[in-house]
Amino acid sequence: MQAIVNFRKDMYSPIELSLNVAGRGSEHIWKICSIYSQSRGFDWPYWETYYHRSNDRLDRLMLKHGTPTIKTVSGHIYEV
């Protein structure tokens, strides 16, 4: 399943980051977003999820061996 996720620090703050997220379903995508938000230090992580969407201009968030990892559009991969 593909999704575009907009991350915010809370419900009323501006969008911090938009990423493509691929997972095995909505619960798996939720888990990836939760781990990523915790690693970024968001006190009350909030994200908007648009399922069955992707954008070639957005970086991709994925889990690699349980670690949040971002693959950039240019092909670089780095752990969060």
> Model confidence at 44, in pLDDT bands (50, 70, 90)?
low
| DSSP H or E stretch at residue 21 | strand 17-22
What one-character DSSP code corresponds to residue 14?
P
Mean pLDDT for 14-33 is 90
Q: What is the pTM of this model?
A: 0.81
Mean pLDDT for 40-52 is 82
What burial class does residue 18 get, using C-beta atoms within 10 Å of its C-beta: 0-12 exposed, 13-18 middle, 19+ buried? middle
